Amino acid sequence: MELTVNALMLRAADYNDNDKILTLLTAENGKLTAGIKGVKKAGAKLKFAAQPFCFAEYTLTKKGEKYTVTGCSEIESFYDLRTDIGKFYAASAVAEAALSLTFEGLGCGDIFYGTVKALSRICTGDECEALIGYLVFALEKSGYALAAENCPHCGRPLFNEDKLRFDMNIGAFTCADCGNGPGASRVTYNAIRKILGKDFQSGFITPDGNKRALKLLREYFAYKTDGKLTALSEYIRLL
């Protein structure tokens, strides 16, 4: 049986002396695991197919329950992601999140196309804002949307509040008097509102606010999915 899919290479693990096991993300089939032979040899024709973030048309041959990559036609390599350490770790955090939020055999068109778009934005633009945007988007598509409106418990407007909380159970910012979530700052609140396409206070959009927003998203992601975004932690350290 042969299957041809547009896929994004999210993870590669060494196997035997010269082979790798790839985890591919597809729109129609979610994650697919496939072996690829000989790609650790110098001059291997399909070496590019096992490179991080390779977006390509993969030809897979299935024998029993196992897929093997037998052909590949590159669509986009996102090469620049591998030449800048900040962009590399931001893109790796995107890949980790996509791996955690998708499943084998279950279509994930929104997350698939959103992941490709995020890698393109990281490659050519502000990787920090692109990463925040992707995490907010992917969490929403997985049923864990964030809310940055008035306090959901008492209705108090939060725009001019310096001390806030973030309720992990409902994924929402609250006033400091409500909820039991960790403390959150005004700059974090505005960074998330900007990504959500809502009105925000431009004076509170700062690099520190973006860093705090990423820390909040890391904790919220772990709380909701039990997944650890180690590349995100490294990216935050670089900031």
Q: Where are the domains of the chain?
A: 2-76
pLDDT digits (tens, 9 = 90+) for 86-100: 999 999 999 999 999
Instruction: Tell me the average pLDDT of the chain.
Output: 96
pLDDT digits (tens, 9 = 90+) for 197-217: 999 999 999 999 999 999 999
| CATH superfamily, domain at 2-76 | Nucleic acid-binding proteins (2.40.50.140)
Residue 144 has pLDDT above 90, yes or no: yes
Residue 226 has pLDDT above 90, yes or no: no
Residue 170 has pLDDT above 90, yes or no: yes
Task: Give yes or no for a contact between 46 and 68, defined as CB atoms under 8 angstroms apart.
Answer: no
pLDDT digits (tens, 9 = 90+) for 176-202: 999 789 999 999 999 999 999 999 999
The arithmetic mean of pLDDT across residues 20-47, rounded, is 95
Task: Give yes or no for a contact between 22 and 53, defined as CB atoms under 8 angstroms apart.
Answer: no
Q: What share of the chain in percent tops pLDDT 70? A: 100
Whole-structure pTM value: 0.95
pLDDT, residue 65, reads: 86
Inter-CA distances, 146 with 68, 173, 183, 211, Å: 39, 8, 16, 17
Inter-CA distances, 45 with 4, 35, 40, 70, 223, Å: 18, 15, 10, 11, 42
pLDDT, residue 227, reads: 87
- Copy the structure tokens of residue 160: 């001019």
The arithmetic mean of pLDDT across residues 31-55, rounded, is 95
pLDDT, residue 190, reads: 98
Instruction: Specify which residues 163 forms β-bridges with.
Output: 185
DSSP letters, the chain, are -EEEEEEEEEEEEEETTTEEEEEEEETTTEEEEEEE-STTSTT-TTGGGGSTT-EEEEEEEEETTEEEEEEEEEEE--GGGGT-HHHHHHHHHHHHHHHHH--BTS--HHHHHHHHHHHHHHHHS-HHHHHHHHHHHHHHHTT---B-SS-TTT----TT-SEEEEETTTTEEEETTSSSPPEEEHHHHHHHHHHTT----GGG--HHHHHHHHHHHHHHHHHHH----HHHHHHHHH-
Confidence of residue 1 (pLDDT cuts 50, 70, 90): confident
pLDDT digits (tens, 9 = 90+) for 102-135: 999 999 999 999 999 999 999 999 999 999 999 9
Residue 64 has pLDDT above 80, yes or no: yes
pLDDT, residue 22, reads: 98
pLDDT, residue 125, reads: 93
